[in-house]
Amino acid sequence: MTRYSGQSRMLVAVDCIIFGFDGEELKLLLIKRGFEPQKNKWSLMGGFVQADESFEAAAARVLHKLTGLEGVYMEQLFAFGEPARDPVERTVSITYFALIDINQYKLQINDEYHAEWIALGKLPDLIFDHTEMVKMAQEKLRYKAAIHPILFELLPQKFTIPQLQLLYEAVYDVTFDKRNFSRKVLSTGLLIKQKDKDRLSSKRGAFYFKLDKRKYNAKFNAFLNFVTDPGNLR
Protein backbone atom coordinates (compact mmCIF):
# COMPACT_ATOMS: atom_id res chain seq x y z
CA MET A 1 0.00 0.00 0.00
CA THR A 2 1.28 3.45 -0.92
CA ARG A 3 2.08 5.68 2.07
CA TYR A 4 3.09 9.31 2.43
CA SER A 5 6.84 9.43 2.94
CA GLY A 6 8.50 11.33 5.75
CA GLN A 7 5.33 11.64 7.84
CA SER A 8 5.08 10.65 11.49
CA ARG A 9 2.39 8.48 13.07
CA MET A 10 -0.46 10.19 14.93
CA LEU A 11 -3.36 8.60 16.81
CA VAL A 12 -6.94 9.91 16.65
CA ALA A 13 -9.34 9.53 19.56
CA VAL A 14 -12.87 10.64 20.36
CA ASP A 15 -14.06 11.97 23.72
CA CYS A 16 -17.76 12.27 24.62
CA ILE A 17 -18.96 15.05 26.92
CA ILE A 18 -22.33 13.74 28.10
CA PHE A 19 -24.65 16.23 29.79
CA GLY A 20 -27.70 15.01 31.68
CA PHE A 21 -30.51 16.64 33.66
CA ASP A 22 -32.24 14.81 36.51
CA GLY A 23 -35.00 17.38 37.02
CA GLU A 24 -32.98 19.42 39.49
CA GLU A 25 -29.30 19.56 38.48
CA LEU A 26 -27.27 19.60 35.28
CA LYS A 27 -24.72 16.79 35.45
CA LEU A 28 -21.83 15.24 33.56
CA LEU A 29 -21.28 11.52 33.03
CA LEU A 30 -17.72 10.49 34.00
CA ILE A 31 -15.77 7.27 34.40
CA LYS A 32 -12.62 6.21 36.23
CA ARG A 33 -9.83 5.66 33.68
CA GLY A 34 -9.03 1.95 33.46
CA PHE A 35 -5.39 2.07 32.33
CA GLU A 36 -2.18 4.07 32.65
CA PRO A 37 -1.30 6.86 32.51
CA GLN A 38 -3.51 8.36 35.24
CA LYS A 39 -5.31 5.10 35.91
CA ASN A 40 -8.35 5.44 38.24
CA LYS A 41 -8.51 9.20 37.64
CA TRP A 42 -11.77 10.78 36.51
CA SER A 43 -12.17 10.94 32.75
CA LEU A 44 -14.61 11.68 29.97
CA MET A 45 -15.91 8.77 27.89
CA GLY A 46 -13.31 8.18 25.20
CA GLY A 47 -11.58 5.75 22.87
CA PHE A 48 -9.50 5.51 19.70
CA VAL A 49 -10.92 5.82 16.20
CA GLN A 50 -10.54 2.59 14.23
CA ALA A 51 -9.13 2.56 10.69
CA ASP A 52 -12.47 1.64 9.13
CA GLU A 53 -14.82 4.08 10.91
CA SER A 54 -15.75 7.76 10.78
CA PHE A 55 -15.42 10.10 13.76
CA GLU A 56 -19.20 10.02 14.25
CA ALA A 57 -19.29 6.23 14.17
CA ALA A 58 -16.41 6.04 16.65
CA ALA A 59 -18.15 8.44 19.05
CA ALA A 60 -21.41 6.47 18.83
CA ARG A 61 -19.51 3.20 19.40
CA VAL A 62 -17.63 4.55 22.43
CA LEU A 63 -20.81 6.01 23.88
CA HIS A 64 -22.70 2.73 23.50
CA LYS A 65 -19.83 0.55 24.74
CA LEU A 66 -19.18 2.56 27.89
CA THR A 67 -22.75 3.51 28.79
CA GLY A 68 -25.19 1.33 26.84
CA LEU A 69 -26.72 4.50 25.39
CA GLU A 70 -27.65 4.91 21.73
CA GLY A 71 -29.81 7.18 19.64
CA VAL A 72 -29.12 10.25 21.80
CA TYR A 73 -28.52 13.83 20.64
CA MET A 74 -24.81 14.17 19.85
CA GLU A 75 -22.85 16.91 18.07
CA GLN A 76 -19.19 17.40 17.17
CA LEU A 77 -17.52 20.09 19.26
CA PHE A 78 -13.82 20.64 18.55
CA ALA A 79 -10.50 18.96 17.76
CA PHE A 80 -7.94 19.08 20.59
CA GLY A 81 -4.45 18.55 19.22
CA GLU A 82 -1.76 20.04 21.44
CA PRO A 83 1.37 17.91 20.84
CA ALA A 84 1.86 17.06 24.53
CA ARG A 85 -1.79 16.60 25.53
CA ASP A 86 -1.28 12.83 25.89
CA PRO A 87 2.04 11.85 27.54
CA VAL A 88 2.16 8.44 25.83
CA GLU A 89 1.80 9.24 22.12
CA ARG A 90 0.83 12.17 19.93
CA THR A 91 -2.98 11.94 19.97
CA VAL A 92 -5.60 14.22 18.49
CA SER A 93 -9.01 14.07 20.18
CA ILE A 94 -12.24 14.85 18.33
CA THR A 95 -14.79 15.82 20.97
CA TYR A 96 -18.55 15.37 20.89
CA PHE A 97 -21.16 16.56 23.35
CA ALA A 98 -24.33 14.60 24.01
CA LEU A 99 -27.56 15.52 25.79
CA ILE A 100 -29.84 13.06 27.58
CA ASP A 101 -32.68 12.96 30.06
CA ILE A 102 -31.08 11.09 32.98
CA ASN A 103 -34.36 9.61 34.20
CA GLN A 104 -35.18 8.22 30.75
CA TYR A 105 -31.83 6.45 30.35
CA LYS A 106 -31.02 5.65 33.98
CA LEU A 107 -31.35 1.90 33.53
CA GLN A 108 -29.21 1.79 30.39
CA ILE A 109 -25.97 3.06 31.94
CA ASN A 110 -23.36 0.29 31.71
CA ASP A 111 -22.14 -0.71 35.20
CA GLU A 112 -18.98 -2.34 33.84
CA TYR A 113 -17.15 0.98 33.51
CA HIS A 114 -18.52 2.49 36.74
CA ALA A 115 -19.96 5.54 35.02
CA GLU A 116 -21.19 8.15 37.47
CA TRP A 117 -23.30 11.29 37.14
CA ILE A 118 -21.62 14.27 38.84
CA ALA A 119 -23.10 17.77 39.18
CA LEU A 120 -21.29 20.39 37.10
CA GLY A 121 -20.69 22.49 40.19
CA LYS A 122 -18.89 19.60 41.91
CA LEU A 123 -16.66 18.23 39.16
CA PRO A 124 -13.40 16.57 40.24
CA ASP A 125 -10.05 17.09 38.51
CA LEU A 126 -10.07 15.38 35.11
CA ILE A 127 -7.24 13.79 33.14
CA PHE A 128 -5.25 15.53 30.41
CA ASP A 129 -7.18 18.47 28.89
CA HIS A 130 -10.64 17.09 29.67
CA THR A 131 -11.54 20.03 31.94
CA GLU A 132 -10.89 22.38 29.02
CA MET A 133 -13.12 20.19 26.85
CA VAL A 134 -15.96 20.43 29.36
CA LYS A 135 -15.68 24.23 29.61
CA MET A 136 -15.81 24.58 25.84
CA ALA A 137 -18.81 22.23 25.68
CA GLN A 138 -20.64 24.34 28.28
CA GLU A 139 -20.04 27.47 26.19
CA LYS A 140 -21.25 25.71 23.04
CA LEU A 141 -24.31 24.40 24.89
CA ARG A 142 -25.25 27.93 25.99
CA TYR A 143 -24.86 29.24 22.47
CA LYS A 144 -26.78 26.41 20.83
CA ALA A 145 -29.56 26.52 23.42
CA ALA A 146 -30.23 30.15 22.55
CA ILE A 147 -31.01 29.42 18.90
CA HIS A 148 -32.14 25.80 18.87
CA PRO A 149 -34.41 23.72 21.15
CA ILE A 150 -31.62 21.30 22.09
CA LEU A 151 -32.17 21.68 25.85
CA PHE A 152 -35.44 19.83 25.44
CA GLU A 153 -33.30 16.73 24.79
CA LEU A 154 -32.54 16.95 28.52
CA LEU A 155 -36.21 17.02 29.51
CA PRO A 156 -38.96 14.41 29.40
CA GLN A 157 -41.53 14.81 26.64
CA LYS A 158 -43.83 16.49 29.14
CA PHE A 159 -42.35 19.01 31.56
CA THR A 160 -43.39 21.85 33.84
CA ILE A 161 -42.35 25.50 33.73
CA PRO A 162 -40.47 25.11 37.05
CA GLN A 163 -38.50 22.19 35.56
CA LEU A 164 -37.67 24.26 32.49
CA GLN A 165 -36.57 27.16 34.69
CA LEU A 166 -34.27 24.95 36.76
CA LEU A 167 -32.67 23.65 33.56
CA TYR A 168 -32.06 27.09 32.08
CA GLU A 169 -30.72 28.38 35.37
CA ALA A 170 -28.28 25.48 35.49
CA VAL A 171 -27.10 25.96 31.91
CA TYR A 172 -26.71 29.75 32.07
CA ASP A 173 -25.76 30.00 35.77
CA VAL A 174 -28.33 32.72 36.50
CA THR A 175 -31.39 33.02 38.73
CA PHE A 176 -34.71 33.91 37.11
CA ASP A 177 -37.74 35.45 38.78
CA LYS A 178 -40.47 32.80 38.61
CA ARG A 179 -43.28 35.04 37.36
CA ASN A 180 -41.17 36.81 34.76
CA PHE A 181 -39.65 33.55 33.55
CA SER A 182 -43.07 31.97 33.12
CA ARG A 183 -44.44 35.05 31.34
CA LYS A 184 -41.51 35.29 28.95
CA VAL A 185 -41.51 31.57 28.12
CA LEU A 186 -45.25 31.43 27.50
CA SER A 187 -45.12 34.60 25.38
CA THR A 188 -42.98 32.75 22.82
CA GLY A 189 -46.00 30.68 21.84
CA LEU A 190 -43.79 27.63 21.52
CA LEU A 191 -45.21 25.57 24.38
CA ILE A 192 -48.39 23.50 24.30
CA LYS A 193 -50.21 23.35 27.64
CA GLN A 194 -51.41 19.89 28.71
CA LYS A 195 -54.50 19.03 30.76
CA ASP A 196 -52.67 17.12 33.51
CA LYS A 197 -50.50 18.44 36.32
CA ASP A 198 -47.41 17.45 38.24
CA ARG A 199 -48.80 17.19 41.77
CA LEU A 200 -45.65 15.85 43.43
CA SER A 201 -43.75 19.16 43.56
CA SER A 202 -46.48 21.28 45.20
CA LYS A 203 -50.01 21.06 46.58
CA ARG A 204 -51.52 23.09 43.76
CA GLY A 205 -49.53 21.27 41.14
CA ALA A 206 -47.95 22.64 37.97
CA PHE A 207 -49.38 22.06 34.51
CA TYR A 208 -47.33 20.02 32.08
CA PHE A 209 -46.27 21.46 28.72
CA LYS A 210 -44.83 20.12 25.47
CA LEU A 211 -42.64 21.90 22.93
CA ASP A 212 -44.35 22.74 19.63
CA LYS A 213 -41.38 21.93 17.38
CA ARG A 214 -43.11 23.07 14.19
CA LYS A 215 -43.68 26.56 15.60
CA TYR A 216 -40.15 26.62 16.93
CA ASN A 217 -38.70 26.09 13.46
CA ALA A 218 -40.65 29.11 12.23
CA LYS A 219 -39.81 31.28 15.27
CA PHE A 220 -36.30 30.13 16.14
CA ASN A 221 -35.36 33.56 17.56
CA ALA A 222 -38.00 33.41 20.29
CA PHE A 223 -35.78 31.67 22.82
CA LEU A 224 -32.76 33.68 21.72
CA ASN A 225 -34.50 36.91 22.76
CA PHE A 226 -35.35 35.59 26.18
CA VAL A 227 -32.10 33.79 27.00
CA THR A 228 -29.57 36.41 25.96
CA ASP A 229 -31.03 39.12 28.20
CA PRO A 230 -31.32 37.39 31.59
CA GLY A 231 -31.18 40.72 33.42
CA ASN A 232 -34.77 41.45 32.40
CA LEU A 233 -35.94 38.22 34.01
CA ARG A 234 -34.53 38.69 37.50
Residue 196 and residue 207: Cα distance in Å, rounded? 6
3-state secondary structure of 68: coil
Decide: pTM greater than 0.85: yes
pLDDT along the chain (234 residues), means of 10: 84 96 91 91 95 96 84 93 95 95 74 84 96 97 86 91 93 90 88 89 83 79 63 46
User: Domains in the chain, ordered, with CATH?
Assistant: 11-128 (3.90.79.10), 153-233 (1.10.10.10)
Dihedral (Cα; 45, 51, 52, 56), 10-degree rounding: 30
Strands 91-101 vs 11-21: parallel, antiparallel or unpaired = parallel
Our CA angle for 44, 37, 119, nearest 5°, is: 25
